[in-house]
Amino acid sequence: MISPEILCLLMFGTTFILLLSGFPVAFVLSGTGALFAFIGAAMGIFDLSLLTAFPQRIFSAMSNEVLVAVPLFVFMGVMLERSRVAEELLENMARLFGSVPGGLAFSVCIVGALLAASTGIVGATVVTMGLLSLPTMLKRGYSITLATGTIAASGTLGQIIPPSIVLVLLGEQLSNSYQRAQFEMGIFSPDTITANDLFAGALFPGLMLVGMYILYQIIFVIIAPHKAPPIPQDELDNTDKVAFYKSLLSSLFAPLVLILAVLGSILGGLASPTEAAAVGSVGSILLAGYRINPEKGRWILIGGLSVFAMIIISSYADMRLNVEVISLPNKIAIGVCFILSIFMIMGIATGLKRTFGQMDRTNNRVLISVMRTTMEISSMVFIILVGAALFSLAFRGFGGDEYIEHILTDLPGGTIGAILLVMLVMFIMGFFLDFLEIVFIVVPIVAPILLQMEISPGVLMSPVWLGVMMAVNLQTSFLTPPFGFALFYLRGVAPPEVTTMHIYKGVIPFVIIQLFALMLLWYFPGISTWLPTQIYG
């Protein structure tokens, strides 16, 4: 007779082998869970009635408002990437910093951070930066290792800088895990954690990483200035300064406004991640449409200003219609917003018309290409979520969560040993699995256990701190040779003279920076917990 513990191990082993075979992740998770559930039922050690909770899991995902943010953020990111906003921004930033040694590297890092805050899609950012900046950096005589390391590291900032799809999904899983942990501790009026908390907690660590990247680049340039030469001054002097600064402000202003509108509305409590993602999607359409034809961008500018005005008005007025008494100022605000919404619709219609008529690099219509990619990525996310729900039900039916709890609580070193083991397992899994599988499989199993542990005497572990640590850990894993996902993305678009070993050598200093950042977060958890505490109390 096989024990439930052995079946749990066989479940994980079978899942891992099938995932490495390249079979679709969602079907691996759901198929493995169902197969072992029926095997366990045939052996009399699994109650099939547990699977009746599976439809409820699916319905909960369907009715979860937070998860609506996923396709909206994906749409925003893909639209900005396909409409070549990043290309124009990178070109102008390179011209701004090009006169100093290492200026192109600084530009890539800054633009990578802006794209991370605009898109949150790691693969798209790495590929875009690789296509646009790597040939230019090599042509200018930059060290291949510095160029590849900078691009790969900057591209992974989308994992940690909000608004990030990773943080949305991780926040949802941590929210469920935190409530479960409190129920198991006998707290039946539990505190909650939302994606807003995780966004606020990840902001400072993300900016800290950008600063550490640039600091390394400065040190590199001081030690070896010939490996990051400036653009010749005669090339820069030939440009029209007034036209250049106008182009720079034009390319920089709109993305910054979009980032501030999305992230500011979330952190300021004006909107949920879903509502802010909707604003970001509208903003990306307006921005893409304006970039296609700035000379005839009147309606798009009016639409963008209308969106911004409605955000401001909503922060001061009660816009609800389903109340018994609406005061006169609120009636006026609602009427003004109704008029502004008409202008916004006109701007959106103009943006949609232009993106439908514009062709991208693959000679497809931008709007059609964006919608298709958004559908593909969103479908992948949600079908994996469904598969992971069945897998976790089967795993818990065998008592797997109890075995994991015993393992983590009995480890030498207590809480420290448990966290180190979980981080190591997630780090290694990041070599082979995408963040979706890790977030949906590992976090629901280990987070409820970790969140019941004390990080210091009398102080329970913070879910925000744990979430940020996991996000930075996965980001580090995606950068680490030989299996980091970002390395393969960059390898796929790198010129022939760039070898895989060049990329490996280039990312090693950035991996060390990531590990140092994890140590800082470990010893100074306030880096991630101070801002959400100040904003949300």
The answer on pLDDT for 29 being more than 90 is: no
**Can you tell me the distance from the alpha carbon of 360 to that of 197, in angstroms, rounded to the nearest whole number?**
37
Q: Is 188 exposed, middle or buried (0-12, 13-18, 19+ CB in 10 A)?
A: exposed
What's the whole-number mean pLDDT along residues 334-352? Answer: 91
- Kindly report, residue by residue over 468-500, the tens digit of the pLDDT: 999 999 888 888 887 777 887 788 778 888 888
Distance CA 338, CA 100 (A): 50
pLDDT tens sequence across 245-282: 776 777 777 777 777 778 877 877 777 888 888 888 88
Task: Identify any residues that bridge with 460 across adjacent strands, giving them in sequence order.
Answer: 454
- Token couple for 6: 């052995």
Question: How far from 433 is each of 151, 375, 442, CA to CA, in Å?
Answer: 22, 21, 11
Number of H helices, E strands in the chain: 23, 2
**Residue 216 — very low, low, confident or very high, per pLDDT cuts 50/70/90?**
very high
Task: Give the model's confidence band at 218: pLDDT under 50 very low, under 70 low, under 90 confident, else very high.
Answer: very high
Q: pTM above the 0.75 mark?
A: yes
The pLDDT tens digits of the residues spanning 68-100 come to 888 888 888 788 777 777 677 777 777 777 778
Residue 399, pLDDT > 70, answer yes
Q: Which of 440, 415, 412 is nearest to 426 (CA)?
A: 440
Question: Is 179 a residue whose pLDDT tops 90?
Answer: no
Rounded Cα distance, 50 and 70, in Å: 29
* Average confidence (pLDDT) over 421-449: 82
- Cβ atoms 78, 374 nearer than 8 A: yes
Residues 448-459 pLDDT 10s = 888 888 887 777
- Any residues with CB less than 8 A from the CB of 482 and at least 6 apart, and which? 504
